[in-house]
Amino acid sequence: MKVYTFELNEAKTAKLIVTVSNVMPFFQITPALIHVPGGGFMFCSESDTVNIASRFTGKGFGVTCTYLYPVAKDYRFPQVIIDLCKCIKILREHAAEWGINPKQIVISGNSAGAFICMTTGNLWNRPEIMEGAGCSGEEGKPDAIICGFGPMFCGQQTDTNIVYVPNGELVGPQTPPTFFH
């Protein structure tokens, strides 16, 4: 097992923690999971992630990750969406090295994390999101989403004000298959 950490911004308020269980002699091409923990946008519940990651590893996911997003006064929309697209892009860039099927990258989240995942699935192809994430095509697009008890709509803090994000109205052909529980 190997663990890698990627800082997603200069302020070091967001990071991706990657756990690669896919090592020799068991190496094979598998799906990957990025989990976005809940915490009401005030904190990231890392224990939430440990439980999810261990379950998915047991189901054949060779790479499980945690996206720790900026919280409380550091939380900003749409930066969290841009950062999650960056996380997906990182996995695709390392797919061969870590044994990831680049067409099977799943994002999951509970509560606030579910909102971030659903919004990422709905907005990943917006020009400003793609540009911010350094994407030119579908490298920042999730292949599937799992949402646990997350809000479908929510007011979000931007750099200048609060915007309303109605996820239910944003679902379209760009939205990957999504499972709600």
Of the pLDDT bands very low, low, confident and very high (cuts 50, 70, 90), residue 13 is very high
- Asked whether the beta carbons of 179 and 145 are under 8 A apart, the reply is yes
Q: At which residue do the structure tokens 């990025």 appear?
A: 34
pLDDT tens string 53-108:
778 877 888 899 999 999 999 999 999 999 999 999 999 999 999 999 999 999 99
pLDDT at residue 18 is higher than 90: yes
Chain centroid, CA 15 distance in Å: 11
Tens of pLDDT along 138-168? Answer: 999 999 999 998 777 788 888 888 888 988 8
Above 90 in pLDDT, residue 48? no
Confidence of residue 47 (pLDDT cuts 50, 70, 90): confident
pLDDT tens profile 99-145: 999 999 999 999 999 999 999 999 999 999 999 999 999 999 999 99
Q: How is residue 130 written in tokens?
A: 């793609």
Contact 100, 30 (CB under 8 A): yes
CB within 8 Å of 125: residues ≥ 6 apart: 138, 141, 174
Question: What is the model's pLDDT at position 25?
Answer: 61
Q: Please, what is the end-to-end C-alpha distance for the chain in angstroms? A: 30
Dist CA 53 CA 34 (whole Å): 9
Which residues touch 91 (CB under 8 Å, ≥6 apart)?
18, 32, 34, 63, 65, 98, 100, 102, 105
Report the predicted TM-score, pTM, of the whole model to 2 decimal places. Answer: 0.93
CB 47 within 8 A of CB 80: no
